[in-house]
Structure 1
């Protein structure tokens, strides 16, 4: 366990978290037990067993403290596809969420199919569209600003601080050119999950829901496609590179955008965004203690996928 993660094991933190959980739940669903099930450098999750079922507590470090408030805003515009917190604290960023059922990570191996992603991607695109007018609100809550006009300078700063950066990486002028090309397609920037994989999608009561908005940012919406299509779905059911046809999944994601914008010419924008999205992910997900992940994401950009 790293020193950064030690904070979540600290008895003072756990005592305060337990007290807050009891304060929020005991009058309606008395707490039976609390177990710490997940610890990372940046967050922790506690499973709370109550007389009415399981509830989940989450705490983030300062870089993701906005997640609870952002989740509330996005949930209100999601038509039930993003669960709203049962309770949250604006000072600490702590939140409680109802149990959302099994994850796609457990469901897909049993069904031997990725077809559920069609519904997930359609619904998620509609959430993004519904949040187009909420950008100022989301930024005010602390959601990172990764809009196209911010990326060239952020990319230059990232390279300047990255030891062992691939010498083939271009300077920021190419990133600026790609951003200008993508902006010319006229798709509005909005909330973007930035880490949408099979561990973040849950199936509760037959409805796919998207959780864990801690890595979210405001950016070009299509940047989602980098992680979700290239980084996850393309690997198929058996984790083999290139084993899944991405076209049906891309079509499912783009369909709400085609309907909303009255266009059928978004494939070029999607292809460009899928490449540039790795730059956004490298910037947005950069951790000083994990430069290897940053290098991997920049390599995906260099490989010019798709």
Structure 2
């Protein structure tokens, strides 16, 4: 029997749930030789609850994911085993609950860029993320088996077709939703979209973990290098799909906005990790295709993130149809108005 989000999602405001979660945090910290020393500070979004927890050995962070993003806990745990220098190593993880307890990562790349808006910071950060993806590629099937969503090119067109049947998520004809004309246009686009997916798959670059929301607020920039966090939107997909959000965020975060030449330089810094196996022309072709196909992955990620009851999800509901419309964007790095 199919369950509704309300039946599946925990009520993070429920006192019993909070007592149970706090008991778990206390127990895990005790095992690590630490204890809580102050009040917990909460932040609640439709897709997760985060507690900032002060301890006698610095701040730690507890995160509880909703059913649509519950895979983040097991993914963070797995990535910490594969590439401990690229992510934070969890203090503890509860895979079934979708809970994780993490140390503080220090300042973010956004903090650094606020002081020094030089794009060379991104030129140094992107190769490390590419290295994480290459290290994770041999485990792609395992990650899918562990519950990380499968967005590989071979299945992405089918996922788009399935999404177009979800009229509730698309808000067809409603404010903030798809117009009937746009819905029909997307339906007509399915064969072309499937063909582009086949072209991307045929290039042969292995699928791996794809963050799908890699911007400067999701990168720690410490003295020992860059670490990548907040993996709730992640999937197993073509690695280059990352570039859609990353390059778009760079263009509009930098003042003045980054131009196409600067974006191409950053793209190439990222693609360098694959030059042992592919020539640059092929890599750029694959990157362009992955960026074109990427809005569907973003729309699917948002649908999972909003797999929760309550009024708070309404604030973000237009993200699912909005990203689908980006399939037709003339400039993938400039959101349609």
So what's the TM-score if we normalise by structure 2? 0.83
- Which residue among 96, 103, 108 is the counterpart of 1:98? 103
Q: In the alignment, which residue of structure 2 is the partner of 1:282?
A: 299
Tell me, in whole angstroms, the C-alpha distance in 2 between the residues paired with 1:10 and 1:280.
Answer: 32
- Which residue among 142, 146, 149 is the counterpart of 1:144? 149
Tell me, in whole angstroms, the C-alpha distance in 2 between the residues paired with 1:60 and 1:195.
Answer: 16
Unmatched tracts of structure 1, length 5 or more:
none
Q: In the alignment, which residue of structure 1 is the partner of 2:82?
A: 77
RMSD: 2.2
Q: How far 1:251 sits from its partner (Å)?
A: 1.0
Report Cα offsets for 1:196-254 as digits up to 9, x if no partner. 11111112334211011111101111111111112x01214237475882012101110
Q: How far 1:130 sits from its partner (Å)?
A: 0.7
The SS at the match of 1:191 is strand
What are the equivalent positions in structure 2 for 1:36-75 lying under 5 Å apart? Answer: 36-75=41-80
Query: Structure 1 residue 301 and structure 2 residue 327: aligned?
Result: yes
Tell me, in whole angstroms, the C-alpha distance in 2 between the residues paired with 1:202 and 1:61.
Answer: 24
Change (3 A) 1:33 1:197: same
Q: Which has the higher contact order (CA 8 A, sep 6+)?
A: 2
Q: How far 1:93 sits from its partner (Å)?
A: 1.8
- Which residue among 235, 255, 264 is the counterpart of 1:238? 255
Q: In the alignment, which residue of structure 2 is the partner of 1:199?
A: 217
Query: Structure 1 residue 158 and structure 2 residue 184: aligned?
Result: no
Higher helix share: 2
Query: Structure 1 residue 173 and structure 2 residue 179: aligned?
Result: no
Report Cα offsets for 1:164-198 as digits up to 9, x if no partner. 42254343211111101111211111111111111
Q: In the alignment, which residue of structure 2 is the partner of 1:19?
A: 23
Higher alpha-carbon deviation: 37-46 or 158-167:
158-167
Tell me, in whole angstroms, the C-alpha distance in 1 between the residues paired with 2:322 and 2:246.
Answer: 16
Number of corresponding residues: 302
Change (3 A) 1:239 1:49: farther
So what's the TM-score if we normalise by structure 1? 0.91
C-alpha contact 1:39 1:45 (8 A) present in aligned 2: yes
- Which residue among 270, 277, 284 is the counterpart of 1:253? 270
